[in-house]
């Protein structure tokens, strides 16, 4: 825990100005931390962003709270914010402590002589930087990161411990890779001498042939991965390099932990991809698409911009822009609700049939 003398401290007026909020009942208090109302003390700013936390303000020890616009309290000062979650983001940046990083190059790091390291770059313990790598200024590479040959890393990037970057990847500015991200590993791409079970099933609708002696050959990947500016990628996420062309992640896209993005995929700008999503190879995702947790997508699918794919959907075909998808197999939400109503009606009919079934038997 930080010593009290090194803590950041702000007046309520300063905080109100930073978040663009409306301050009531000015208190002479220094805010050194943020907390939920029930865990807050006199030096905390209580964060009451929803109804439950607003109710808890009656029991808080805090002298001030961040609340939605229109919420007030007779007991404590409040900073009313039109978008409380946006205000919270600004506050968290105030109190955020970045991870510690080595000044310069750590003695245990291995840096190839041909690598070009920019001004004020930090390279941590046991980092391996291969030949012809370029790292632009102010980027931080923390412990145990591997960077393959020919990789280009932009300015002000932050790579957390354990990341692995394959050959020839291009990474833009202000990119954050969380712990143990894998970029530009080989894609999952194979071929058999004769049509395999999947090909037979697609053509004939069943599996009939004996493929017991079938050999599987690996298709090597000679493309790489391009990650554009301001992308963040969560821990243990894997993005495979392209077979011939590059896999691309568009600028401002945010990817959660434990996501798999296959070879040749093209992910648009400003997308949100939540944990445990699996996107098979050669998919094209438009801009600002939201893909919720545990969605699975078949290969060679196109999803139009501004679409939303709801949790656990199984996407087997392409859909146009601004589609909201749900279910497995996934379908537009209106169609899904229609099917659900039909199933409910069918259940009612079955129940009525059972009620009069004995008359039919008689």
CATH number of the domain at 13, please.
3.40.1390.10
Which residue's entry shows tokens 């790292």?
Answer: 135
Residue 30 within any structural domain of the chain: yes
Asked, for residue 309, whether it belongs to a domain, the answer is yes
Nearest to 129 by CA among 180, 157, 158, 113: 113
Kindly state whether residues 253 and 282 are assigned to the same domain. yes
User: Are the beta carbons of 167 and 224 closer than 8 angstroms?
Assistant: yes
Q: Is there a single domain that holds both residue 171 and residue 146?
A: yes
Confidence check: pLDDT of 240 > 60:
yes
Q: Which of 44, 64, 95 is the last residue in one of the domains?
A: 95
Q: Does 120 lie in the same domain as 76? A: no
Judgement on whether residues 277 and 156 belong to the same structural domain of the protein: yes
pLDDT band of 281, cuts 50, 70, 90: very high
Q: Is residue 246 part of a domain?
A: yes
For this structure, is 263 an active site residue? yes
Q: Which residues pair with 227 in a beta bridge?
A: 171, 249
CB–CB of 80/68 below 8 Å? yes
58 belongs to a structural domain: yes
Q: What is the pLDDT of residue 293?
A: 97
Q: 221-225, 273-277, 334-338: lowest mean pLDDT where?
A: 334-338
pLDDT of residue 89: 95
| 122 and 175 together in one domain | yes
* Cβ–Cβ < 8 Å for 63, 78: no
Residue 356: what are its φ and ψ, rounded to 5°?
A: -110, 5
Contact 61, 55 (CB under 8 A): no
Claim to verify: residue 288 and residue 188 sit in the same structural domain? yes
Same-domain status, 75 and 145: no
Per-residue pLDDT, 150 = 98
What sign for the dihedral angle of Cα 40, 46, 47, 48? positive
- Distance between CA atoms of residues 262 and 184, nearest Å: 10
**How far is the C-alpha of 289 from the C-alpha of 270, rounded, in Å?**
7
Q: Is residue 356 part of a domain?
A: no
Average pLDDT for residues 263-285, to the nearest whole number?
Answer: 98
**Position 6 confidence tier, pLDDT thresholds 50, 70, 90:** low
Domain assignment of residue 73, given as a range: 4-95
pLDDT of 22-76, one tens digit each?
998 877 889 999 999 999 999 999 999 999 999 999 999 999 999 999 998 888 9
Q: Is the pLDDT of residue 4 over 60?
A: no
Whether residue 27 is contained in a domain is answered as yes
Query: From the candidates 106, 179, 263, 300, which is the catalytic residue?
Result: 263
Please indicate whether residue 212 or residue 265 has the higher confidence score (pLDDT).
Answer: 265
Q: Give domain status of residue 17, yes or no.
A: yes
Average the pLDDT over 177-187 and give the result: 97
Q: Span 172-176, mean pLDDT?
A: 98
Angle (CA) 182 183 188, round 5°:
85
Decide which of 336 and 237 is more confident. 237
Lowest-confidence pick of 60-74, 100-114, 124-138, 193-207: 193-207
How high is the mean pLDDT of the chain? Answer: 92
Is residue 8 over pLDDT 80?
yes
Asked if residue 284 and residue 157 are part of one domain, the reply reads yes
Kindly report, residue by residue over 309-358, the tens digit of the pLDDT.
Answer: 999 999 999 999 999 999 999 999 888 888 777 777 777 777 777 777 77
CATH number of the domain at 175, please. 2.160.10.10
Residues 114 and 85 in one domain: no
75 and 115 housed in the same domain: no
Question: Which whole number is the average pLDDT over 204-226?
Answer: 89
Indicate left, alpha or beta for 236 from its phi (over 0: left) and psi (-120 to 50: alpha): left
Same domain, 54 and 146: no
Together in a domain, 64 and 141:
no
pLDDT band at residue 3 using 50, 70 and 90 as cut-offs: very low
Task: Identify whether 349 is part of a domain.
Answer: no
pLDDT confidence of residue 19: 93
Q: How many domains does the chain have?
A: 2
Question: Is the separation of the CB atoms in 209 and 200 below 8 Å?
Answer: yes
Q: Which pTM was predicted?
A: 0.87
Work out the number of other CB atoms within 10 angstroms of the CB of residue 361. 6
Q: Which of 43, 71, 95 is the C-terminal boundary of a domain?
A: 95
Percent of the chain with pLDDT over 90: 77
């Amino acid at each position: 825990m930080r010593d009290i003398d090194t803590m950041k401290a702000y007046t309520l007026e300063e905080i109100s100005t930073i978040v663009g909020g409306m301050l009531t009942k000015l208190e002479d208090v220094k805010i050194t931390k943020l907390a939920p109302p029930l865990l807050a003390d006199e030096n905390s700013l209580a964060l009451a962003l929803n109804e439950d936390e607003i109710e808890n303000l009656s029991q808080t020890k805090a002298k001030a709270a961040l609340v939605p616009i229109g919420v007030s309290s007779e007991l404590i000062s409040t900073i009313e914010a039109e978008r409380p979650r946006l205000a919270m983001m600004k506050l968290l940046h105030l109190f955020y402590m970045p991870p510690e990083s080595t000044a310069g190059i750590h003695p245990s790091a291995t840096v190839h002589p041909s690598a070009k390291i920019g001004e004020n770059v930090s390279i941590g313990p046991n980092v391996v930087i291969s030949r012809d790598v370029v790292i632009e200024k102010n980027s931080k590479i923390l412990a145990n990161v591997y960077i393959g040959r020919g990789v280009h890393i932009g300015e002000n990037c932050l790579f957390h411990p354990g990341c692995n970057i394959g050959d020839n990847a291009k990474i833009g500015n202000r990119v954050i890779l969380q712990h143990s991200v894998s970029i530009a590993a080989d894609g999952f791409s194979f071929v058999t001498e004769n049509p395999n079970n999947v090909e037979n099933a697609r053509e004939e609708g069943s599996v009939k042939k004996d493929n017991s002696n079938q050999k599987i050959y690996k298709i090597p990947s000679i493309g790489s991965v391009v990650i554009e500016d301001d992308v963040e990628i969560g821990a243990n996420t894997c993005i495979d390099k392209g077979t011939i062309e590059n896999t691309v992640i568009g600028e401002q896209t945010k990817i959660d932990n434990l996501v798999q993005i296959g070879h040749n995929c093209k992910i648009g700008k400003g997308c949100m991809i939540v944990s445990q999503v699996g996107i098979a190879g050669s998919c094209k995702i438009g801009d600002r698409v939201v893909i919720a947790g545990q969605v699975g997508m078949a290969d060679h699918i196109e999803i139009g911009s501004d679409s939303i794919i709801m949790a656990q959907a199984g996407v087997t075909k392409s859909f146009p822009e601004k589609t909201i998808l749900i279910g497995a197999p996934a379908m537009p939400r209106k169609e899904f609700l229609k099917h659900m109503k039909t199933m409910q009606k069918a259940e009612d009919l079955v129940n009525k049939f059972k009620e009069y079934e004995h008359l039919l038997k008689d």
